[in-house]
Amino acid sequence: ADGYYEYTMFECVYSTSDYSDMVYLASLSFNKDVYAQFNSTVGKFVGLTEYGVKQAEYFNKDQALLQQLKANVDTLCRNNAQGSDSAIRDKA
């Protein structure tokens, strides 16, 4: 059907067992095109399209939002990774 499709995808990316390289990503998409992304290592939104640059500028003015997203590395990513990784290792 005709229409628009907008979504945000949240990811926790890491490759070490001590989670020292863990990164929290939030990708904002419209009709399957990512237009802006938050990266916890960078600490702010980065625009990937003309529209995304404007959105990133707007979101980056909200220091409370940026602090919350940076904290998600610990509050969401590490906690969930520790639980799921130990469940997987215990069954191996």
| Residue 82: per-residue pLDDT | 84
- Does 44 reside within a domain? yes
Q: Is residue 58 part of a domain?
A: yes
Domain annotation covers residue 1 = no
Domain assignment of residue 69, yes or no = yes
52: containing domain: 6-89
Q: From first to last of its 92 residues, what are the pLDDT tens digits of the chain?
A: 578 999 999 999 998 888 899 999 999 999 989 999 999 999 999 999 999 999 999 999 999 999 999 999 999 999 888 888 777 766 65
Q: What CATH number corresponds to the domain at position 10? A: 3.10.320.10
Contact 55, 45 (CB under 8 A): yes
Q: Which of 33, 25, 31 is nearest to 76 (CA)?
A: 25
pLDDT at 1: 59
Instruction: Look up the pTM and report it.
Output: 0.85
Domain total in the chain: 1
3-class SS at 16?
coil
Q: Is residue 71 part of a domain?
A: yes
